[in-house]
């Protein structure tokens, strides 16, 4: 789910908590009667603010209640809003572990819960210790493209981080050689890429596969699909390599596209990359336009996109993850987000042997840094338990 970024402002107050005002929001059962566009517009502001709240160590979201007869005790915040928070923000059934709600006349406040349970205790947040709605990562999955969930993205990034470019290419080559049918398809596709023209309604001598995808786009919304589909396929193929062929249907039949469809490919190139290596290379792909003929005339065109395997990781867009920074709720860039996902504590062997970890980045909010103290000294939690025994719930 990709939210449209909004200029959310952080307000200066006399209180220590950061305050984000998201404007007017309808709450309770009346949300069921709202138009879908109205609900999406409100959620596109509220959900990023909640995400930033969790990623920034706490604060307050304040909103003006749009429906005058609203009462929190009677109506709650609204089932669809609860579902959005559970599914897109915390991936946990219990909102009270992460948020507290308070109505103050026409104002409604959402606060980060003071529960002692760590943010990373939510199942989907267990590993990446950051709240994200969408990773922005796509990967080739058989003949389609799959969007990786944040926890899946963590596994993917860890694998890429562990592999150097040479090791990854060797592993990929070995996999292809062990699957002869896939290897034959790739060879036939490479030969096809060298051609200049095709016969309309002709049949290609190879099928779709893990590394080859056909798109016929035989619909009235062809321009819309041509502009929206390749920006996901190109990064996904760059993460796994392969060919995207436009103007061929899933039965291998050459149907062709008109010239204006090919012009739509000008907007395909969007590059969001992250490097584990020092090469700093760019995504490499080649677009070739093949003429399509029928018996007597030129019928249209086929576009073939050849994608090379990228050395590190390619994103389709910046992840849907926010943080409070300065006076704004800011969307994290690919680099900022991935730096957090793959962060690790320093090697303790480089420190004195009598120091212990007090705060670890593997189980802390976004802004936390690793903290160490001398072994044997009383830590904050022990001091709290000693001074306030039996009073902390």
- Report the distance separating Cα 101 and Cα 112, nearest Å: 9
Rounded to whole angstroms, the Cα distance separating 4 from 299 reads 39
Catalytic residue among 112, 140, 215, 330: 215
What is the 8-class DSSP label of residue 388?
A: S
215 as an active site residue: the answer is yes
Asked whether the beta carbons of 89 and 133 are under 8 A apart, the reply is yes
Dump strand ranges (E) for the chain: 10-11, 19-25, 60-65, 99-104, 107-112, 138-141, 144-147, 197-199, 212-215, 242-246, 272-274, 285-293, 298-307, 313-315, 322-325, 328-331, 355-359, 371-374
Q: Please state, in angstroms and rounded to a whole number, the distance separating the CA atoms of residues 12 and 109.
A: 16
Per-residue tokens: 258: 């008109």
Angle 248-252-258 from CA coordinates, rounded to 5°: 15
Q: Could you give the C-alpha distances from 343 to 46, 131, 142, 192, 197, in angstroms and in order? A: 28, 15, 31, 43, 50
Residues recognised as catalytic = 215
């Amino acid at each position: 789910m990709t939210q449209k970024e909004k200029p959310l402002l952080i307000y200066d107050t006399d209180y220590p908590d950061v305050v984000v005002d998201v404007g007017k929001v309808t709450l309770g059962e009346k949300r069921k009667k709202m138009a879908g566009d109205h609900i999406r517009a409100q959620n596109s502001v509220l959900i990023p603010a909640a995400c930033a709240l969790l990623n920034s160590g706490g604060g307050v979201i304040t909103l003006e209640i749009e429906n005058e007869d609203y009462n929190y005790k009677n109506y709650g915040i609204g089932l669809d809003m609860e579902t959005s928070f559970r599914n897109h923000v915390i991936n946990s059934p219990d909102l009270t572990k992460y948020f507290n709600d308070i109505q103050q006349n026409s104002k409604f406040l959402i606060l980060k819960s003071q529960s002692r349970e760590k943010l990373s205790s939510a199942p989907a947040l267990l590993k990446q210790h950051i709240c994200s709605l969408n990773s922005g990562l796509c990967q080739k999955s058989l003949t389609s493209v799959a969007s990786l969930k944040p926890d899946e993205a963590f596994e993917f990034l860890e694998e890429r981080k562990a592999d150097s470019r040479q090791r990854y290419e060797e592993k990929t080559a070995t996999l292809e050689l062990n699957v002869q049918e896939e290897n034959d398809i790739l060879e036939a596709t490479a030969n096809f890429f060298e051609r200049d023209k095709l016969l309309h309604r002709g049949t290609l001598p190879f099928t779709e596969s893990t590394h080859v995808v056909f798109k016929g786009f035989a619909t009235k919304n062809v321009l819309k699909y041509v502009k929206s589909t390749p920006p996901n396929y190109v990064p996904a193929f760059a993460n796994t390599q392969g060919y995207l062929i436009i103007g061929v249907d899933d039965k291998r039949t050459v149907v062709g596209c008109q010239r204006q469809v090919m012009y739509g490919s000008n907007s395909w190139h969007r590059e969001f990359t992250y490097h584990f290596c020092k090469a700093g290379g760019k995504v490499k792909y080649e677009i070739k336009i093949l003429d399509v003929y029928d018996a007597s005339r030129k019928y249209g065109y086929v576009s073939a996109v050849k994608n090379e395997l990228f050395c590190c990781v390619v994103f389709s867009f910046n992840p849907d993850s926010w943080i409070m920074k300065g006076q704004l709720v800011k969307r994290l860039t690919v680099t900022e987000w991935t730096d957090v996902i793959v962060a690790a504590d320093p090697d303790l062997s480089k420190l004195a042997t009598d120091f212990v970890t007090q705060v670890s980045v593997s189980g802390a909010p976004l802004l936390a840094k690793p903290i160490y103290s001398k072994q044997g000294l009383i830590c904050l939690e022990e001091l709290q338990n000693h001074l306030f025994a039996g009073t902390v719930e």
